[in-house]
Amino acid sequence: MRRAPNAVGHLYGRPVRPSISPGLVRDRRFGDRTRRGCDPTEVRTFLHLVADELTALRAELAATRDENVRIKQALRDWQSQQFQQFQAGAGVTG
């Protein structure tokens, strides 16, 4: 499901966060300068770890959304069944 933000970068009054993909995290470069205390190899390793975690979280979110759809459909089916039984018990036709 794709949601389009309005002209000011908000989705129906709520701020829209930019999407950060695992590939974007893995491919991020910070230049050749070494800053005090930051080893470029360790930074790359950390970025790959973050990207892997982001991939796993996205998969878990997709599975949760699918489960949510299944549960909502089961609830709708149950409610329809209960309503039909209610109508049959009350002698309502139609």
The stretches of 1-39 forming alpha helices (DSSP H) are 22-27
Average pLDDT over residues 8-24: 72
Residue-wise pLDDT for 19-37, tens only, equals 889 999 999 887 766 667 7
Q: How far is CA 45 from CA 27, 52, 63, in A?
A: 12, 11, 27
Going by pLDDT thresholds of 50, 70 and 90, the confidence category of residue 94 is low
Under DSSP, is residue 86 helix (H, G, I), strand (E, B) or coil? helix
Strands (E), 1-94: 10-11, 14-15
Residue-level pLDDT at 70: 98
For residue 20, give every residue at least 6 positions away whose Cβ sits within 8 Å of its Cβ, in sequence order, or none. Answer: 54
